Each structure stands twice: as C-alpha cells, then as structure tokens.
Chains A and B, each alone.
Chain A
Amino acid sequence: MTALEIEALSHHFGGLTALDRVSLAAAPGERLAIIGPNGAGKTTLFNIITGIYRPAEGRIRLLGQDVTRLPTHRRAQLGLARTFQITTLFPRLTVLESVLLAVQGLDSARFTIHKSRESYGHLREHAESLLADWGLADRAGQVTRHLSYGEQRQVELVLALAGAPKVLLLDEPTAGLSPAETASVVEMIRRFSRDTTILLIEHDMDVALDLVDRVLVLFQGRVLAEGSKDKIKSDREVAAIYLGTDDA
C-alpha cells in the first residue's frame, strides 16, 4: 500500500491552471523531493493534499483511504502533517504551549471543557519529551515570536512531528536560513523516523538531493520528470528549466 497517492490532480485559479493532471505515489518511509522553479505549483500541491483547497479534478489517497473530500483536520487525524513556507506558529504563545497544543490536537481530551488541561499529565510529559528529543528544552518558556528565525523553523518541525505523522509534508524548511541554521534543520530532518513518509519542497538543490531517495520535478503545473537523484541530475530538460537560476 502506498503512503500517499495522487491521481491526476488538477486545479485552477481564475483562468490560470495551477496544476495539470499531476500524479505521484510515495511508498511508506520514502523521502520524495518536489522541486521546480517558482510558480511551478509546489505549494499549491501541498495545499490541496492537506485540504486547504479542493481540487478541480483528481483524487488523493492517504494510506489507502480516499481523502479528496475530507476537511483538513480529518486528514491530520489520519496521520498527515505539514509545515508551511511562511512560519505559521502561534506568535504570542511559548514554545511549550505551542507543542502542548500540537500534542493535544490528536488526543481524545482535546474537546474537554470541564477539567483543566493541567490535569492531563500525559500531555505535558509528551510535550516536554518532544522538546528534549529535538534539543529545544531550554527554549520551552520563550515566546515564539521572539525566537530566531532558525529556531522558529525548528519549532515548526516539532509541531508537525507531535502527532507521530505517517505522512509529513515539508514546505521549504530551509528557506531564508543561514548556512549554519540550514545545517541544523537538515540534521533534524535526517533524524526523522522511517515510519514517516516525507514529501519535501526545497529550493536548495543540494539540501534536497542530500535528504531524499527520489525526486519529482514540477514545471508550470505539470510533472516534467520523475526518478532517482542521479537520473534527475543528468536530465537535460530539468537542467534547462534551472539554467539562469542560482540553485542548479
């Protein structure tokens, strides 16, 4: 069974075709990079997979289940997680509070109204162990909008991991980071469990090819090429669309 399967996904914005019959399949535990120039449709693809947009055509299957019509939060409950290109943290909350919310999200206690959250010790333990695992324990009390950009990215990754997702979508996790910060984030991603299938949108080709098994190239909303790292590296069409940019 594939972890994530997309069949002929198409989507339009007004008169523009953002995605044109895109198909892909990711096996459990696989790392798949989605690359392509700006405007190729990568983030739109992620938005559709997570349910932020409803596709005009096509199907999405998560762990064998058709989720095309499911709302975002239901897909999360089935094991889908994602990070955003623009950091989407809780500006005025602390790191610990943010992770607590992430941990609570898939917990049966999440809608309880008559008991304080403190009484659910397991939530706090889980949150603290997550922070400890990923080296953020000393940042627990910091308000997230006061963190450095690199640290914010790390928190965003921890939030996505909190639910032990089966499929994780990472949207440009190293964008805007310094080389040192990029290295930490890459290290973090490398440590992710192979129980999690990862789809990675990356602009930095070195980072992308370093982390993944397979690459899918999107160009103007269509799949231009797909295959192993070496195959893509030596593909002429792919090189052509990257000519003139700094990333190739």
Chain B
Amino acid sequence: MSTRVAAGAVALAMLVALPAALSSYQLSLLTKMLIFGIFAMSLDLLLGYAGLPSLGHAAYFGVAAYTVGLLALRVANNFWIDFPAGLVMAGGVSALFGLFALRTRGSYFLMITLALGQVLWGIAFGWRSLTGGDDGLPSVPRPRLPLPWSLTEGVPFYYFVLVCFALAIGLLALVVRSPFGRALVGIRESERRMEVLGYDVWRYKYFAFVLAGLFAGVAGNLFVYFNGFVSPSYLNIVFSASALLMVILGGAGTLVGPAIGAAVIVALENVISAYMERWVLVLGVIYVLVTLFAPSGLVGLVKQRMGASRS
C-alpha cells in the first residue's frame, strides 16, 4: 500500500514539474491526456468495477461539453454557472439512460447503451439551430477564474486541468475503496450471490451508472474548454469505443490503469497520425491486438512481470 502512495506522490510531483520541461505543444498534449484520463477512469468505475460494459459513455461526456459550450457562447461565460450546469446535464442524462439500460445485461446492455448514445448524437447532428449540426460550435471561450493567471494560456490551463484530475482520481479512489465500491466488485463477480447476501443490486448499479456519467461530464467540460469547440463526434460510438479501448489497454478495474491507457492512446494517435494517413486502420489493428494479447491491459502485464520476478 505504501509503495502505491509513494508512486502516486512521485507521479504527482512529476506532473506538477513537467510544464517547465515541455514545449507548448507537448504541454497541450499532456493536458489532453489528463482530460481523457478522467474520461477513462469514469468508464472504469462502470466497466472495471461494476462490470457494466457501456458502449455509449461518450453521451455524458458530449452532453456536458455541449451544455458548457452553449451556455458560454449564448448565455454567459460564467464558470460557476456553466461548469455545474454541464455536470447536472451529464448526471441527468445518465440518470435517465440508466433507467433504460439497466433493465438489460451483457450484449443487450452493450447494444442499448450504444443506441442511446447514438440517439444523442442524432439530436446533436440534426438540431442545427441549437447545436450547429455537423459543423459544431466553435470559439467556446476558456473560463474566467478569479486567479492572477489567465486560463487562455497553456500553462495555467494545464494546472487547472491537473487540479481537476487530482480531485477526480482522489474521489474515485475513495469511492472504489468504500463499502459501496467493494460491493460493485462483488456484483461484477457474482450478481446472484450479492442479491442473496442482501444487496439491492439494481441500486448499486444505478448509482455507479450516474456517478460514472458525472465524472464523464467533468471530462467533457474540460475538453470543450480545451478545444474551444464541440461537435457531434464527441457523442458517437467511435468516441465511446475509444474510452473502452483506453480502459482495457490500461487495465480494467485498476483506476490508474485506464488513466495510463488514455495517455498511451492520445500519444499514439498523435504520433501515428503525424506520419500516416491510414491512422484509422492502425487504430483498428490496435483494438484487435489489445483484445488478443493484452486483455488485462498494461497494468495486468506489469503485475505479471512483478509476480514472476518475485517467485
């Protein structure tokens, strides 16, 4: 346990110190990694801990992004209204979708979450007057906070995201260590056994679903500020599937693994698309390879190595 705390402290120290050593482009990449780290961790709560494979998680990410974007552009660029509003929408939509999705299991659950995500995508795509349709909403401003630094600059914005990331991982770590979190793991391993032991399984799954949606909303909020832009692609299956890949690549059910998985995917996407036109093809191959050869993800591989060297 103390090795983990030590490693976490080192990682945090590095993340705090890094801006000094990175170019502004590299820093913005790191910022993106942190944002997707939050997104991936939110899905890990649902998938890795509760065992619910959602193919529509981008819905909550995207709905938060649109909410913040629309409010900041059309109403007022007021962080204290916009940011919470984004979270409320993400939580509200997940609370609604959860009622439908949680009546199913397995492949059906995959399919329903996919369909629900696509419904939102369809709305964003079709309702041009509200969302700008396929063109999206450009020029979303960065938030104005009562700080001596402007968030329009790369370094202050990075630290802002880092603070959110630290809070997110801290809260999620608390949740997964709580009785609630441990119960989710039990439900993942054997729902029937948990029912018989006295747990109201549906309630646990529902809470996990909404909580995961909320944290996805945090990531969505940050991403629209980061990019200054939101489009229907933030809601579609490709986005949802990327989150799944990040979780699996990193290691489902480890929280920190998916954050690392997110960093890896963001880095790969950046590097490979700079050299290759056929980035999508490579991504597809990555999906196949990860599934075939690293089902427990990078964290799983590391654990295997450590276990082997110990014996």
Contact = CB atoms under 8 A, between A and B. Distances in A.
Interface string A112-123: 111111101001
A245 interface: no
A101 B207 CA distance: 18
A193 interface: no
A118 B197 CA distance: 20
Interface residues of B, number: 26
Interface string B161-201: 00000000000001101111111011001101111111111
A77 B198 contact: yes
A60 interface: no
A89 B196 CA distance: 12
A90 B180 CA distance: 16
Contact of A113 (B181, B185, B196, B198): B181
B172 to A, nearest CB: 11
B198 A101 contact: no
Interface in A96-116: 97, 100-102, 104-107, 109-116
A93 interface: yes
Contacts of A92: 189
A81 B196 contact: yes
Contacts of B177: 116-118
Contact of A159 (B193, B203, B204): B193
A93 B186 contact: yes
Interface residues of A, number: 39
A101 B194 contact: yes
Interface in B190-223: 190, 192-201, 203-204, 207
B201 A73 contact: yes
A234 interface: no
A187 to B, nearest CB: 24
A84 B183 CA distance: 20
B297 to A, nearest CB: 15
A101 B183 contact: yes
A113 B207 CA distance: 10
Given A101-B183, A113-B180, A118-B177, A89 B190 contact: yes
Contacts of B200: 71, 73
A163 B198 contact: yes
Contacts of B182: 97, 100-101, 104, 117
Contact of B195 (A72, A89, A90, A101): A72
B178 A113 contact: yes
Contacts of A118: 177
Contact of B179 (A71, A81, A111, A162): A111
Contacts of A90: 185-186, 189-190, 193
Contacts of A102: 197
Contacts of A84: 192-193
Contacts of A112: 178-180
Interface string B54-68: 000000000000000
Given A100-B182, A117-B179, A159 B174 contact: no
A89 B189 CA distance: 8
Contacts of B193: 84, 88-90, 159
B192 A109 contact: no
Contacts of B196: 50, 72-73, 76, 81-82, 88
Interface string B111-138: 0000000000000000000000000000
B163 to A, nearest CB: 20
A99 to B, nearest CB: 11
A71 B196 CA distance: 10
Interface string A75-89: 011000110100011
A91 interface: yes
Nearest to B192: A88
Contacts of A97: 182
Contacts of A107: 179
Those 10 A-B pairs whose CB atoms lie nearest each other, nearest first: A90-B189, A76-B198, A105-B197, A105-B198, A116-B177, A113-B180, A72-B195, A101-B186, A88-B193, A117-B179
5 contacts: A88-B192, A89-B190, A90-B186, A110-B183, A113-B174
Given A88-B193, A113-B180, 13 more contacts: A71-B200, A73-B195, A84-B192, A88-B192, A101-B183, A102-B197, A107-B179, A109-B179, A111-B203, A113-B175, A113-B178, A113-B207, A120-B179
